[in-house]
Structure 1
Amino acid sequence: MLKYVDIAITFAEFPNEVSLCINISGCPCFCDDCHSPYLSKDIGEVLSLERLRELIESNKGITLVGFMGGDSDPEEVNKLAKWVRENYPELHIGWYSGRQALADEVIDLDNFDYIKLGPYIKQFGPLNNPNTNQKFYKIDRKTHIMTWCTNIFWKEAE
C-alpha cells in the first residue's frame, strides 16, 4: 500500500484545475536537489480507498485529484486512479511520476487525464523552464494518445 504524507490544494501543478495534490512517500527516485526529499522516506498514513474518499469529500470544489509520486508502486497508483474515475467521474485525474518512462504494463491511460514524467534535474530546471527534461502530457482517453503540452507551463511563467 502507498502512504501519503500531506495534501495541498493547488492551482499550478495541473493548469486550469483546482487540484487536490496528494504527496506520496517512499519515492525511489532520489533526484538531486529534490524539492521534497522527505518524500523518499517510508512515512505517513496508508492511502486506502476509504482515506482517499475522505480526502476528496472534505475538499469540495476540487476539479482534479493529483497523485504526486507513487513510483514505488505504479500499479497501486493506477488502481487508485481507476477508483477515483469510477466513483467521481466528474473529477480529472493526474499523476506526477519521477520516472523517465511510463510503466505501460500497469498503467491504463483511461484512468488519467494528465501525466508528468521525468525526474527533477537541476541543470534543466522544473516544468516552467523551457529547458526542462520533464514532460507534461494531456491524455486523450478515447485514443490513448499522450499529447505533450509542457509548454503550458512556460506561458504561465512569462
Structure 2
Amino acid sequence: MELLTAVAISVGILSGVWAWISASFGLITWVGFIGCTSYFASGGKFKGLKKSILANLSGVLWAMCIILGTKYIGGTYISYILTGFFSFIMCIQAKGKLLEFIPGAFCGACATFGAGGNWSLVIISLICGGILGHVSDMGGTFLSLITRKKEF
C-alpha cells in the first residue's frame, strides 16, 4: 500500500479515537487537531513532534501575555499593541533552533484565544494532538511497510 493511503487510514482511525478520548476526558478536541496538524506541517517524525510542541507551547505563552496584558493594563489600544508586539516575538524567536517553526507558535496562540484563555487545557490538548499526529504517522508507515508488494 502506498504511504499516503496508509497514513490516511491511520489518521482516520486514530482521529476517531481521539474524538472519543478527548470528549471522555474533557479535553478540547479541536485543539488536539490543531496539534496534530502542526505536527504534520512541521515535517513529522520525532523532530517535527518536538519542533511543533515547543512552538505550540510558546504560542500559548504569548497569547496569555496578550490576554493578561490587555486585562490588567487596559485601554482601548493595548490589545492591538500587544498583539503586534507578541506576533513579532513569535516570528523572531524562530532565530533559535528550538522555536524555528513559526506557524506552530501561531497555532498555539490561536488555540488559546479560541479556547478563551483556558491555557492548561489547551496545553494538554495540543500535546495530545502532537502525539496523535506522530502515532498516526508511525502507524501509517508501519501499515505501508507490511502491505507493500514485494518485487522480485
Higher-RCO chain (CA-CA 8 Å, sequence separation at least 6)? 2
Superposed pair shares fold, TM > 0.5: no
Bigger Rg, structure 1 or 2:
2
TM-score after normalising by structure 1: 0.25
Task: Identify the structure with the greater helix proportion.
Answer: 2
TM-score (norm 2): 0.26
Task: Write 1 or 2 for the structure with the bigger share of strand.
Answer: 1
